[in-house]
A and B are shown apart, each in its own frame.
Chain A
Amino acid sequence: MGAHSKNIVIEIQGLTKSFKDLSVLEGIDLKLYEKENLVVLGKSGSGKSVLIKCIVSLIKHDEGSIKVEDIELTNINEDDLMEVRKNIGFLFQGGALYDSMTVRENLAFPLTRLKEKLTVDDINQKIESILEDVGLPDAIDKRPSELSGGMKKRIGLARTLIVNPKILLYDEPTTGLDPITSNEISDLINETKDKFKTTSIIITHDINCVKIVADRIVMIKDGKIYKEGILEEFMNDKDPYIKSFFK
């Protein structure tokens, strides 16, 4: 109820996307409210990742409308898209850290491009501060190849947060991690929301992560919204498909 009285940050209507003959999204309607963690749940290949990639225009949608803070992304020009992307952070599944750069250079990369007026001292200070936030201050001069899966996700999150985005899109943040690290990342998502006042979409099929982070859940099946609600509604649902996720 609290969430619905807030401003709409992202509004998606009738979104469709196909790859050749394969229809992935078939008319998705979705609203993301300010300062909520919305979990998009669904089995692998259900189109969850395609959905958030459409939100940042990494994949162009076929039909429908995507509005980010009231700006329509359909047929948007490059300059306007850059402005929209300044407010969106995207955490990729594997972290997507640049292999050829150290952690410091990885974190400095978006800063030098998005906040051009910063001095070297400002950049270093921000890097050290964000690494403290994600609990990895000692990794500053390491290369991505020297980091574990969980550390890569933390650094990936740090790289996303360093430019203070209002909206965060997490693509399977806990996939491939052990249960302890997975819970740590889920806690970090909540801490990020509280500290940076972000609004997030979290794509996952990890129920532990859902239980920790979800303010609201949207379940996708066969490219359509199957159910929308809060965690308790999903936990108590008698539908066999939903029960198969939460059992």
Chain B
Amino acid sequence: MNSLWLISLVNKNDMIKHQKSDLSESMDYVIKYIKDVMLKFFLDVATVIYYLKSVIKNLVSSKFETSEFLKQCYQIGNKSVGLISITGLIVGLVLTIQSRPPLVEFGAVGMLPGMVAVSIIREMGPVITALLCAGKIGSGMGAELGSMRVSEQIDAMEVSNTNPMNFLIVPRVIAATIMIPILTLYADAIGIFGSWLGANIKDDISLYLFFNQAFGQVEFIDIIPAVIKSFFFGAVIGLVGCYKGFNAGRGTESVGIAANSAVVTASLLLIIVDLIAVQITDLL
């Protein structure tokens, strides 16, 4: 009996040991995975920053491709305006509907237009516009340039004595840098309009009065940092999308990978840039 008990105890100890080693192996695997992902992301960030140097060098030293730049501006604006309109409207509407009950509780419902306007202009407008554009424009750039790489169109451009960096990358990056702030301002306006619609579900307030109250609370310091960070958001989207597409591999599979990693890297970078921008604004 004693010996049986001893055997079962040894087996139990073995099992616990085994389970412990399994757990530690799994933990090691998870830690290694996180390490690899982080390392890959930071390597991507470093390469994109290095890539920025080439873009600036080409922008300064080569002839600017104005027609390609205007074409890209049109593409970015035209592609995104519908999506941004719908999203901006819904964000404004939802934000108002969600914020109203606590404000009613404190008897501060009159502050609703200003509060919503400030949160849209400072944060929601720029970040949501940037994330939407990272998905739509960043992936589009990654896929387009990736497929140009795969089908040798970029090589054909080089052989035609055209610097692909100057023709393809610089206009796209500059167009994204300029168009994202414009789209952000548009999203802000639509968002505040959506907020007015939301306010009118329970209350009755004219558009003029609502905008008057909203912009009565908005200060210059709310708008300028948001616009400035939108420029950075645009640059990030353009740079990452172009970098991923331009450096895609040779197989057709690479096009999908380029588009996908353009969105993932750009979205993560946008959040980091936003965090830095908020810290800097806070210091002002």
> Which residues in A have some Cβ–Cβ distance to B below 8 Å?
53, 56, 58, 82, 85-86, 88-90, 92-94, 96-100, 109-110, 113-114, 159, 163
Contacts and interface: CB of A to CB of B under 8 A. Distances in A.
Instruction: Tell me whether chain B's interface is mostly helix, strand or loop, or mixed.
Output: helix
A89 B161 CA distance: 11
Interface string B120-164: 000000000000000000000000100110011101111111100
Name the 6 nearest CB pairs between A and B, nearest first. Answer: A96-B156, A96-B152, A110-B160, A92-B152, A90-B159, A82-B161
A58 B161 contact: no
A96 B162 contact: no
B161 A85 contact: yes
Interface of B: 144, 147-148, 151-153, 155-162
User: Which of B151, B158, B159, B162 is the most central at the interface, judged by chain A CB atoms within 10 Å of its CB?
Assistant: B159
Nearest to A101: B153
Contact of A94 (B152, B158, B159, B162): B152
B149 to A, nearest CB: 11
Contact of A58 (B147, B153, B155, B162): B155
Contacts of A86: 161
Contact of B155 (A88, A92, A99, A110): A92
Contacts of A114: 160-161
30 contacts: A53-B155, A56-B159, A58-B155, A58-B159, A82-B161, A85-B159, A85-B161, A88-B159, A89-B159, A90-B159, A92-B152, A92-B156, A94-B151, A94-B152, A96-B155, A96-B156, A98-B148, A98-B153, A98-B156, A98-B157, A99-B147, A99-B148, A99-B151, A109-B160, A110-B160, A110-B161, A110-B162, A113-B161, A113-B162, A159-B156
Contacts of B158: 58
Nearest to B162: A113
Contacts of B155: 53, 58, 90, 92, 96
Nearest to A97: B153
Nearest to A78: B163
Contacts of A82: 161
User: Which of B148, B157, B160 is the most central at the interface, judged by chain A CB atoms within 10 Å of its CB?
Assistant: B160
Contacts of A53: 155
Contacts of A100: 144
Contacts of B156: 90, 92, 96, 98, 159
Contacts of A109: 160, 162
A99 B161 contact: no
Contact of A113 (B144, B147, B160): B160
B254 to A, nearest CB: 16
A123 to B, nearest CB: 14
Contacts of A96: 151-153, 155-156
Contacts of A58: 155, 158-159
